[in-house]
Amino acid sequence: MKIDIASMLVILVAPLLTAVILVIFHRRVDRTAGYIAAASALISLLAALSLLPALHNSGGPELALPWIPAAGIELDLHLDWLTLPFVITEASVTLISIIYAWGYHHQDEKTPYFYALLLVFASGMAGTTLADDMVLFYTFWELMLVASCALIMFWGEGPERNAVALKYFIFTHFGSLLVLVALVMLYNLTGNDTFSALREGARATQGQVITITAFFIIGFCVKMAIFPLHLWLPDAHTVAPMPVTIMLAAAMLSMGAYGILRFPMSIFTSQQLQPFVIPMMVAGVISEIYGAMMALAERDIKRIVAYSSVSQMGYILFGLGTLTFNGIAGATMHVIFHAIVKALLFMALGIVIHATGKRSIDELSGLGRVMPLTAICTGIGALTIAGTPPFCIFDSEWLIFAGGFETPHIALAVAALFGSLLTVAYALWLVTRLFFGDQKPATIAKVHIPLATLIPTVFLSILALVEGLLPAPVFNWISQELTLILGGNW
Amino acid sequence: MVNLWVLLMTVLPVTIGIGMGCFDIILRLRNHHRAPNSAWAIFFTFIVLATVISAVALLLLPGKQPGIAINWLPNSGSMTIHLAQSGLVTATALSIFLLGLVPVIKPTGLMDYGLLLITCGAANLAFISGHFTLRYVALEVVGLCIALYPLVVLGRSLGSEVSRYVFIILRVGDAGFLTAILLFLQYAGTLDIETSLGISTSFAPSVQLWVIGTLGLAVWVKIGLWPFHRWVNAGNLLPSVPNAWLYQAVMPTLGLYLAYRVQPLWVAIPPVSAVVAWVTLAATVLTMVSTLRHVKGPHFVTNFQTVQHGLAFFLAVNGQLHIIPLVLYLAGLRGVLFLIKHSKSHRIRAGATAIAGVATLAFWGNLVARNARMLRLPGFVGILLVVILAVVLAVYFLLKQVAEYRQQTKGSVTVSPEMREQEPVAWTTLSSEDKMLQWFFRVIKRDMPERVLQLMTVSVIGIGQWLYRVIERNTLDTELIKLANGVLKLGQWGYQSIENASLEGFLRWIKDAVVTLSRYLQSLHTGKLRFNLVWVAISMGIVIVALVA
C-alpha cells in the first residue's frame, strides 16, 4: 500500500479506531480519554497535511474496493484539491474542540463516551469529504448526523435537549432525504455511483439537471442552515455542549457547501446551472440579512453567534451562486475562515458562560475588567467577522463580493455588500455590551480561566490575523480545486 | 532611498504604534497601567518627527517613484505607491499638525500614542497609495483607530457606545468605497488608480452611475456631511487635542482627498454629476442648518468645517477640482483654529473666531467670485445664491459670536502682562485684530445691514428651527431612532412571528396534525379485536385489488 493511501486511511480510521478503544476500555481511560482523543485528532490532522506533496505530484491518492459488484457499487476513497481544504478544516476544528473540552467538559465516568462520539462525529465528516462514491458519501453523511445528535441528546444543556436533538435530527434528515433522492436520480442516470464516473458521464437533459440540482441545493441548504431551513440551528447550537457547538458551527455547516461543490457544481457545467444563479444569490442575501437581524434581536449570547452562522452561510451561498471563479474561491475560503472565527467566538463565549453561568446579554456587562484576554480575543473575533482588514474574513468577503460584481446582477451584489453592515452592528454590539459596559453587580469579581480553554482561543485570534495577512497559500490550494468544478473552463 | 523615506513615513509609525499598543495591553493585563512618562513623549515626538522629515524629503524628490509593490489579495494586482505632489503636501501638513500637538497631548496611556501613530502612518499610506485596495485598507485602519480612541479615553460605558457608533457610520462610507472599488476591478480590470480612472470614462452609464453614487457616499460619510455629521460631532466628547487631529483633520481630509483623487469621474457624466452636486449641496445646506442651531455649542466649529468641505466637494463635482487642494492644504491651519476655538479664554476664542470668519469669508468669496461663471449646473445662479447666503450667514454667526465673547469680557480687549507671557499666540492675534473686531462689532450691532441681516436671520433661524424640528428632531433623530428601533423591532417581530410562530408554528401544526392522525389511525386499528380484524380485512382487500389491477 502506498504511503499516501495509508495516510488517507489514517485520516478516517484513526478517529474511528480510537473511538472503539475508548468505548471498550472506558473504565481504564476515563481520566485520559481527552488526551487520547486529542492524540488521535492530531494524527488525523498530520496525516491530512502530509498528503499535500502527494497532491502536488500525482493528483491525490485513490482507493477502490468492490462492495456490491452486481449494482456497480464500490467503496471508493479519494483525496483531491476540492477535498483538502475541508479535510484540514475538519481535522483542525476537531483537535481544537477536543483540547477546549479538556477545560470545559466536566469529567465523569461517561467522559470516554463523550470523546468517542466526538471522534465518530469527526470521522463522519472526514468520511463524507473523502468518499468518492455515493453510497459511502451518504453513509458517512448520516453517521455525522447520528453522532452529533447523540452528543446533543446525552450531553446537551437544559431540559429540552431531547426535543432539540429530535428537531435537529428531523430537520437535517429531511435535508438528507432530498440529497438521497438526488443521488438516486444521478445513479439511475449513469448506472454508476463513483464521483469520477459522474464527472465524466452524467448526460442529462436540462430538466433533469434542474430537478437534480434543486434537490441537491435544498438538501444541502438544510445543512448550511439557510433561511428558512435554519430552524434547527439556533436550538442545536445553544443546547449542545460548547465543544460540540464548535464542531457543529465551524465544521459541520460547511459540509453543505462541500456538497454543493461536490455534486451539482462538479457534475454539471456553468451553463447548465445558470438558472440557479439568481435564486442562490437571492437566498444568500436574504439569509445574510435575516441572520444578522436575528442576531441583533436575540438576547442569549450563544444564540447570537448561532444566528451569525445563518448570516455567514448566506455569504457562502451567495458566493457559490455567482458561479464565478472569484465567488466560488471566496466561498470556499469563507468556509475555512468562518471555521476559525466561529470557533474563536464560541470558545470566547464559552469562557464567559463557564465563568459566569449566565447566557443572557442583559445580565452580562463590563466583563473586560475581569477577563481582559477573553475580551481582546472576542474583540478580534468581532472585528474579523465584521470583515475588517487585515483579518481573514475580509479576504474571503472581498472575493465573494468581487464574484458578485462579475455577474450582471450588480444590485444583488450591492445588497450583499451593504447587508454586511448589519454584521458589523451585531458583532460590535455583542462585544461592547459584554465587555465594555458598566459591570453588573451580580457578575463575578475574579475568575479562573482554564488554560486549555484560553490557549486555543488565543491561538485562533492570532490565526485570524495571520490568515488575513497571508491568504495566498489557502487561495492557491483553492484555486487548484476550481479546475475540478463547473467543467473547469474559467 | 525613496523606498526608505516611504517606509519611514508609513511603516515606521504603524509598527511603533502597534508595539506601543501591545505594550499598553500587557501593562493593563498586569495591572501596571499608568500614563506614559516624558521618555515616552520624547520617543513619540521622535517618531512623528521622522515621519515629517520623510514626507518633506519625498517632497524634495519630485518625479521619483518608489519600487514598492505588495501582492496581498488574490486577483487584485500588486499594490503600489504613487507619490503625487498633492498627496505628499497633505500628508506633510497633517504630520506637521500632529507634531505641533505633541506638547499639548495628555495621554492616558501608551495606547493613546499608539493609536495616533498608527493613524498617522495609515493616513500617510492612504495619501500616497497608487492602488485602490491599499487606500481602502489604509482608510479602514484609520477608521478603526478613530473609533477605538473614545474607547481608550472615555472609559468603558460611554466610550464603547461612541466607538460603536463612529465605527458603524464610517463603515457605511467604506461599504460605498468598497462597492466602487469592486466595480473598478470588474469593469476596468485593474485597481491601479491612474489606469482604472483612465478606463472609467468608457464604462457603461449604468456602471458609472453606481461608481459615482457609491464614491459620493464614501466622501459624504468621511467629510461628515448631513446626515452623517454625527460621527464628527461625536469627536467633541473627546479632549480637544485628539479630537482636533483625529476627528476634525485626518478623516475629513482623507475624504476630501478621495474626492480629489478620483476627479475624472465627477465630470464623466454631466447628469450624474448634477445629481451628486445637488445632493451634496442639499446636504451642505442641511449641515449649515445644524450649524446655525449649534451656534453656541461644541458642534459649531465642527459643522462649520464640514460645511466648507461640503462646498469644496460641491464645487469639485462642478468641475472646479483645483479647489480641493486649496482646502486640503489648509487642513492644518483649520486644526489650529479649532484648537484655539476650544481655549478656555474668551479673548482667544474671540480672536480665533474672527480670524476664521474673515479668512473663510475671503476664501470662499474669492472662490465663488472667480468660479461662478464656470459652474456647469443648470440654474447655477440660484445655487450660487444659496451658497453665498449660507457662507454669509455662517460668517455672520461667527462674528455674532465674537461680539458675544466681547460682551463676556466686558469691554475692550486688554492684554495683561501675564497673558503676554502665557499665551503669546493669543496676545499677538488679539492685539492685531482688536480694532477690526470693534469695527465688526459696530457693524453688527448698530448699522442698518445688521437689521436687515437680523430680519433675514430671524427668518432663516425660524426656518432653520422648523427644519430642525421637522428634519433633525422629528425626522432625522426620530426617524433614525425609529429606523434603529424598526430594524430591532423587525428582528424581534421576525423572531417572534417567523421563528417562533409562523415557521415553527407551522411545523408544530404539521407535527400535531401528524400525531393526531396517527393517534386516530392507531385508535382505529388497535384495541378491540374486531377493529383489528376489520383492518386486516381492509388491508387484504387493498392488496387483492392491487394484485388484480
- Written in H, E and C, the secondary structure of B344-392 is CCHHHHHHHHHHHHHHHHHHHHHHHHHHHHHCCCCCHHHHHHHHHHHHH
Neighboring chain A residues of B149 at a CB cutoff of 8 Å? none
Q: And the C-alpha cell for B359?
A: 479668512
Q: How far is A486 from chain B (nearest CA, A)?
A: 20
- What are the C-alpha distances in Å from B387 to residues A434, B259, B283, B355, B393? 47, 20, 12, 21, 10
Comparing C-alpha atoms, which of A383, A421, A431 is closest to residue A293? A421
Contact A101/A34 with Cβ under 8 angstroms? Answer: yes
Q: Residue B139's pLDDT is what?
A: 95
Say how many Å lie between the first and final Cα of chain B, rounded.
Answer: 94
Q: Residue B397's pLDDT is what?
A: 60
Out of B74, B159, B171, whose CB is closest to A421?
B171
Residues 351-380 of A with CB under 8 A from B: 366, 368-369, 372-373, 376
CA atoms within 13 A on the CB side of B187: 23
CB of A319 within 8 Å of any CB in chain B? no
Comparing C-alpha atoms, which of A417, A172, A299 is closest to residue B180? A417
Q: Residue B411's pLDDT is what?
A: 46
DSSP-assigned letter for residue B129: B
Beta-ladder partners of B265: none
| Inter-chain touch B141–A395, beta carbons under 8 Å | no
Comparing C-alpha atoms, which of B169, B170, B388, B398 is closest to residue B281? B388
Contact B353/B282 with Cβ under 8 angstroms? Answer: no
CB pairs under 8 A between A and B: 119
pTM of the entire structure? 0.83
A73 phi/psi in degrees, rounded to 5: -100, 130
Burial class of residue B540 (count of CB atoms within 10 Å of its CB; 0-12, 13-18, 19+)? exposed
| Inter-chain touch B179–A296, beta carbons under 8 Å | no
DSSP-assigned letter for residue B181: H
| Inter-chain touch A405–B207, beta carbons under 8 Å | no
CA A482 to chain centre: 19
- Cite the beta strand spans of B372-499 per DSSP E: none
| Inter-chain touch B499–A231, beta carbons under 8 Å | yes
* Dihedral over alpha carbons A398, A401, A406, A410 (to 10 degrees): -140
| Inter-chain touch B178–A417, beta carbons under 8 Å | yes
CA B143 to chain centre: 8
pLDDT 10s digits, B388-446: 666 666 666 666 666 665 555 544 444 445 544 444 444 444 444 455 555 555 554 55
Contact B218/B176 with Cβ under 8 angstroms? Answer: yes
One DSSP character per residue, A29-48 reads STTTHHHHHHHHHHHHHHHH
Q: Checking phi first, is residue A447 left (phi over 0); if not, alpha (psi -120 to 50) or beta?
A: beta
Q: Residue B222's pLDDT is what?
A: 93
Out of B140, B163, B175, whose CB is closest to A418?
B175
- What are the C-alpha distances in Å from A360 to residues A238, A356, A428, B209? 12, 11, 16, 45
- CA-nearest residue to A406 within chain B is B186
Q: Residue B16's pLDDT is what?
A: 95
Neighboring chain B residues of A472 at a CB cutoff of 8 Å? 71, 74
Out of B159, B186, B494, whose CB is closest to A405?
B186
Strand, helix or coil for residue B191: coil
Out of A290, A414, A421, whose CB is closest to B172?
A421
Q: How far apart are CA A76 and CA A132, in angstroms?
A: 5
Residues of chain B with pLDDT under 70: 289-301, 321, 329-481, 497-504, 521-533, 549
- CA-nearest residue to A367 within chain B is B156
- What are the C-alpha distances in Å from A268 to residues A15, A194, A203, B318, B460? 34, 15, 9, 51, 67
DSSP-assigned letter for residue A440: P
Report the amino acid identity of residue A374. Answer: T
Report the amino acid identity of residue A433. Answer: R
Question: Going by C-beta distance under 8 Å and a sequence separation of 6 or more, which residues neighbour residue B390?
Answer: B284, B285, B288, B307
Residues 408-437 of A with CB under 8 A from B: 410, 413-414, 417-418, 420-422, 424-425, 428-429, 432, 436-437
Strand, helix or coil for residue A1: coil
pLDDT, averaged per 10 consecutive residues of chain A (490 residues), comes to: 86 95 89 94 94 82 83 83 91 94 84 95 95 92 95 91 90 93 90 79 84 95 91 91 94 93 91 94 94 87 93 96 95 95 95 89 86 92 94 95 94 95 91 82 70 92 94 89 78
Q: Which of B160, B480, B488 to mutate to test the interface with A (most CBs of A within 10 A)?
A: B160
Complex ipTM: 0.90
Contact A308/A343 with Cβ under 8 angstroms? Answer: no
Question: Going by C-beta distance under 8 Å and a sequence separation of 6 or more, which residues neighbour residue A80?
Answer: A55, A59, A60, A481, A484
Q: Residue B422's pLDDT is what?
A: 46
Q: Residue A317's pLDDT is what?
A: 97
Say how many Å lie between the first and final Cα of chain A, rounded.
Answer: 36
Out of A418, A422, A432, whose CB is closest to B160?
A432
Q: Residue B486's pLDDT is what?
A: 76
Out of A294, A326, A472, whose CB is closest to B495?
A294
Q: How far apart are CA A121 and CA A352, in angstroms?
A: 26
Contact B232/B252 with Cβ under 8 angstroms? Answer: yes
Out of B74, B164, B487, whose CB is closest to A428?
B164
- What are the C-alpha distances in Å from B383 to residues B173, B259, B277, B315, B434? 26, 21, 10, 11, 35
A360 phi/psi in degrees, rounded to 5: -80, 130
Out of B141, B160, B186, whose CB is closest to A406?
B186
Comparing C-alpha atoms, which of B470, B38, B530 is closest to residue B293? B470
Q: Which of A294, A310, A405 to mutate to test the interface with B (most CBs of B within 10 A)?
A: A405
B269 phi/psi in degrees, rounded to 5: -120, 105
| Inter-chain touch A405–B182, beta carbons under 8 Å | yes
| Inter-chain touch A417–B151, beta carbons under 8 Å | no
| Inter-chain touch B175–A437, beta carbons under 8 Å | no
Q: How far is B481 from chain A (nearest CA, A)?
A: 15
Q: Is the peptide bond before A69 cis (omega within 30 degrees of 0)?
A: no
- CA-nearest residue to B183 within chain A is A405
Q: How far apart are CA A7 and CA A11, in angstroms?
A: 6
| Inter-chain touch B488–A472, beta carbons under 8 Å | no
| Inter-chain touch A388–B140, beta carbons under 8 Å | yes
